[in-house]
Structure 1
């Protein structure tokens, strides 16, 4: 799991994603505008008359870190749960597109070319319900994904139109090389796929109303040093206790980072399903954002 990050710069690893680095990084081409590519996994063939169960997220994680490394995207997204796994940093090309020798370098033609595989196939069955299109799913986590990709300068536009059907619409090379934004796999030159068939609308960017309750942003890994005194630590302690992760042995120094905070925060990380070095009691962005520490003074 990715840990802290510089809040003033785009993060190469999506803070909400499980970091599953497969290595073999290679640069993109900054001579071209930033892009995002939308795919679906389409890993089973189903019909309205014969739906099939969705393949588990863990299976696809294992595939893209194993035998499917050579076809891995940047991000695997489960639109039913909001889970993410990331296999390459945003600054590297990934390998989810066919790239012809001497062609338009489909995986690299942009300052970034961030590729997303949504865990979905038409007529998949989840919890007894059948879903014909990606946009029919809950699209959990889409706001976080859209925001992270925006942070890399990818504009909220579809140069070839937002996908609305499983059909091919190959992008002219002139548009591909000159216009940033979102492209369907069905749009990418040199490829022959028709996915994703649909994609959610871009997430709104609302400003919170004045006085609305806000949460403390992640202060960074270096903030959590022994002896650090801050009302943020006291607010965090209250949330850990509320989440039944109280491993404190003293009621004094509630605003000072110490061993009780480490034990209690590790319990919170374990509650989120983290293990090993990702559950060592040192806060990272992923776990902090999910804890929801109230902003001090509000």
Structure 2
């Protein structure tokens, strides 16, 4: 299962957790836009700790999941991934913007146009070092958010919104692309980098209690068969159809449960998540 809290991010849980509604997994790109600067009149970037303190304090009701510092690669997380945040406007009776997906992960980049850091001036977010973007992208992707922009990667400060796309398409959305909102950010966002395929787990995850039905054929059952024999729990009369769940599997698994110390109804031969995990069936 993906991590509820982004690895490497500082955790400042503001509480007020609430579930999302399900549907296409989404991530929302924001910038903090805490000062109005121009090319003629740039302004110093607001310190990261100021925004962190704001979202953990008086601004907790608007806190995103992640505050990202693209200059230093720092992250602070205020809500777990499986909770909604309240970073988006949500009008009564319409789409529940903050909940409209399996996850709706909201990211605030510490940035405003023409911010100044040292002697450098940065007109767009993509002009910054974008430190930590790879890690952020990979964590968001681990929650099922595809590396795509259903309404196009933001490249201006003009709103582009479609409720039909929002309702059906998983992926990243700019704040300027979310229904019921009037913000124009983020203006730009870094391009996706190659995301490595998730590594295959060493052992087969528990497939669920309903998986083990008479006649079920699967390489998982054959791999389990071999492990039970290796553990000295061989109650099979034959190795024919080793990949089909039957009475021999049930007797052998009951022997494994008894070996673990279970008795009575807890050693009925039906696999459960704890005994399965301890059997360490190789991933197939």
**Fold shared per TM-score above 0.5:** yes
Aligned to 1:248: none
Shift of 1:206: 5.8
In structure 2, stretches of 5+ residues that fail to align are 198-284
Shift of 1:204: 1.6
Q: In the alignment, is residue 15 of structure 1 matched against residue 12 of structure 2?
A: no
Aligned equivalents of 1:17, 1:132: Cα separation in 2: 26
Aligned equivalents of 1:205, 1:17: Cα separation in 2: 19
- CA RMSD, 1 decimal: 1.0
Aligned equivalents of 2:30, 2:115: Cα separation in 1: 16
The counterpart of 1:76, out of the listed 58, 62, 67, is: 67
Runs of 4+ aligned residues of structure 1 deviating over 6 Å after TM superposition are none
Q: In the alignment, is residue 27 of structure 1 matched against residue 19 of structure 2?
A: yes
Aligned to 1:161: 152
Aligned equivalents of 1:22, 1:205: Cα separation in 2: 30
Which structure would you say has the larger Rg?
A: 2
Aligned to 2:174: 184
1:213-224 paired onto structure 2 within 5 Å? none
Shift of 1:88: 0.5
- Number of paired residues? 197
Shift of 1:70: 1.1
Normalising by structure 2, report the TM-score.
0.68
The counterpart of 1:62, out of the listed 53, 59, 71, is: 53
Aligned equivalents of 2:54, 2:94: Cα separation in 1: 28
Q: In the alignment, is residue 44 of structure 1 matched against residue 43 of structure 2?
A: no
Aligned equivalents of 1:33, 1:53: Cα separation in 2: 38
Aligned to 1:137: 128
Deviation by residue 1:190-240 (Cα, 9 ceiling, x = unmatched): 000000000000022369xxxxxxxxxxxxxxxxxxxxxxxxxxxxxxxxx
In structure 1, stretches of 5+ residues that fail to align are 1-8, 208-298
Aligned to 1:93: 84
Shift of 1:185: 0.1
SS at match of 1:170: coil
Aligned equivalents of 1:174, 1:72: Cα separation in 2: 27
Q: In the alignment, is residue 108 of structure 1 matched against residue 99 of structure 2?
A: yes
